[in-house]
Amino acid sequence: MEGTLAIVLKVIPRGEDDLLCDFLTEKKGRLWALARSARKSRKRFGSTLTALNIVTVDLVEKANSSLLFLQESNVSLPLTHLQEELERLGCAFYLVEAIRGMTPEHSPEPQKFHLLLESLQKLNRGEGPPDVRKFFERSLLKISGFEPHLSSCLKCGAKEEKRYFVFKEGGVYCHRCLPARERFEVVSKGREERIFTLFLEYCMGKSFKSKVLCPLPAF
| Paired strand residues for 25 | 6, 29
CA 141 to chain centre: 11
pLDDT tens digits for range 48-107:
999 999 999 999 987 666 789 998 889 998 899 988 888 999 999 999 999 999 999 988
Residue 215 pLDDT greater than 90, yes or no: no
Element spanning 69, H or E: strand 68-75
Q: Is 77 helix (H, G, I), strand (E, B) or coil?
A: coil
**pLDDT interval class at 219 (50, 70, 90):** very low
Residues 6 or more apart whose CB falls under 8 angstroms from that of 24 comprise 6, 7, 9, 30, 99, 103, 112, 113, 116
Please write the tens of the pLDDT for every residue from 91-116.
Answer: 999 999 999 999 999 889 999 999 99
- For residues 214 and 154, give the distance between their C-alpha atoms in angstroms, rounded to a whole number: 32
Q: Which of 164, 106, 102 is nearest to 138 (CA)?
A: 102
pLDDT in tens, 135-170: 999 999 999 999 999 999 999 999 988 999 999 999
Q: pTM of the predicted model, to two decimals?
A: 0.90
Task: Count CB atoms within 10 A of the CB of residue 74.
Answer: 14
Q: Is the pLDDT of residue 207 over 90?
A: no
Pairing type for strands 171-173 and 54-61 reads unpaired
Task: Compute the distance between CA of residue 44 and CA of residue 12 in angstroms, rounded to an integer.
Answer: 18
CA dihedral sign, ordered 87, 142, 122, 10: positive
